[in-house]
Amino acid sequence: MEFPIFKTKEEGKDKKFNLTDPKERSDYFYYKAGEEVEKLKTFVKDNTCIVYLLGKKNSGKGTYSKMLAELLGDDKLEHFSVGDMIRAVSRDIKDPAKKIELEMYLERNYRGWIPVEKLIPVIEGRDTSTLLPTELILALVKREIAKRPRKTIFIDGFPRDMDQVSYSLFFRDLIGFRDDPDVMAFIDVPTNVIAGRIAGRRICPVCNTSRNLNLLPTLNVGYDDVLKEYYLICDNPSCTGYNRQRMVPKEGDELGIEPIRKRLEIDQALMEKAMELYGIPKIYMRNAIPVDVAKNYVDDYELTMAYDYTYDSSSRKVDVHEKPWTVNDDKGVPSVSLQAPAVAVSLIKQLTKALGL
């Protein structure tokens, strides 16, 4: 795949922003795409749409969704992870009452090739490498969407396999969003960038906002004297634990990229197949740009930086140090990785166009 390079750099606009600061990040979006932001805000007041996020595992789908929700209002837009939904269902059915409730729902709403009485054991016996039947996924998604007020939905994790690609053309009808426009958003991220993200990823245990200790810190960084390690403090303004919650490693990240390498290959093939679909607008989001052309397309402060820290025990202060982060893309080309807000700008502008605003 060869994604176009989206230009966020504008001649005559040389103001700089700290993209890790929520307030400055909001100002940045208005500075770079204010007209489009206002159009989207007007749209989501009375309208909704569905955006299918397709990208390799750990490509930042949740991060981009949450940034738009932060900008447009989390009461208007929601990131919906099919994987998170399945994990939640797997936990819930350990409760006998919730298990019975799910069985009754499936009796009324599920249509597929496996009898309902055999579906619960399928869910209970699944592992991370097992995909549930598509017909079951559709019924579960419809159930979850029905629990929520009508919102613009950024769907992460559907389609998940080749046989689900064609379903995506009718997905909005299947879940009851018959009049919603829908869009496919493809995210291109080099494997080396994903490996770096996994190595330092941290998650807020309250709002699930994702950041990175090495690449995308929050505004506040702390030091644990007992564990002798640095940690991030959630700075999502809509988080109920705002400015208090210590972010934690995501389960399984300590194993690195090898356990998901096969999944990355499947995701790549899935994107290539979905790109062949006609009849649905497409958005192309590119994370990395070759070093030799980056200065023509983006501003220096939009580049991903590598971070390390020093701790002054006397003042109990953490000092943050940064330097540009360069990686080889999947073709071996030395490239710079963009910070998430810069990629989100391309999403904002392309989404506005795709919706005809």
CATH code at 187? Answer: 3.40.50
Residue 232 lies in a domain: yes
Residue 104 lies in a domain: no
Rounded CA gap, 91 and 70, in Å? 28
- Do 187 and 55 form a contact (C-beta atoms < 8 A)? yes
Lowest pLDDT segment from 16-20, 131-135, 169-173, 272-276: 169-173
- Of 353, 282, 346, the closest CA to residue 33 belongs to 346
Residue 176 lies in a domain: yes
Average pLDDT over residues 340-355: 95
**Residue-level pLDDT at 1:** 65
Average pLDDT of the residues of the chain = 88
Lowest pLDDT segment from 21-35, 254-268, 342-356: 254-268
128 pLDDT exceeds 60? no
334 pLDDT exceeds 70? yes
- Percent residues over pLDDT 70 in the chain: 96
Identify the top-confidence range among 8-22, 116-130, 285-299: 285-299
* Number of domains present in the structure of the chain: 1
Task: At 306, list the tokens.
Answer: 């590598």
127 pLDDT exceeds 60? no
231 pLDDT exceeds 80? yes
Residue 142 lies in a domain: no
Lowest pLDDT segment from 14-28, 113-127, 186-200, 311-325: 113-127
Average pLDDT over residues 246-268: 87
- Percent residues over pLDDT 90 in the chain: 41
26-46 exposure pattern, b = at least 16 Cβ within 10 A, e = fewer? bebbeebbeebbebbeebbee
Range of the structural domain that residue 332 is part of? 22-76+151-354
Average pLDDT over residues 72-82: 89
**Residue-level pLDDT at 342:** 95
pTM of this prediction? 0.81
Residue 128 lies in a domain: no
242 pLDDT exceeds 80? no
Q: Is 93 exposed, middle or buried (0-12, 13-18, 19+ CB in 10 A)?
A: middle
How far CA 348 is from CA of 23, 184, 308, 334, in Å, comes to 18, 13, 31, 27
Identify the top-confidence range among 39-48, 150-159, 240-249: 39-48
Q: What is the pLDDT of residues 203-225, one digit of tens each?
A: 999 888 888 899 888 888 999 99
**Residue-level pLDDT at 229:** 94
Residue 305 lies in a domain: yes
Residue 14 lies in a domain: no
155 pLDDT exceeds 80? yes
Average pLDDT over residues 65-83: 89
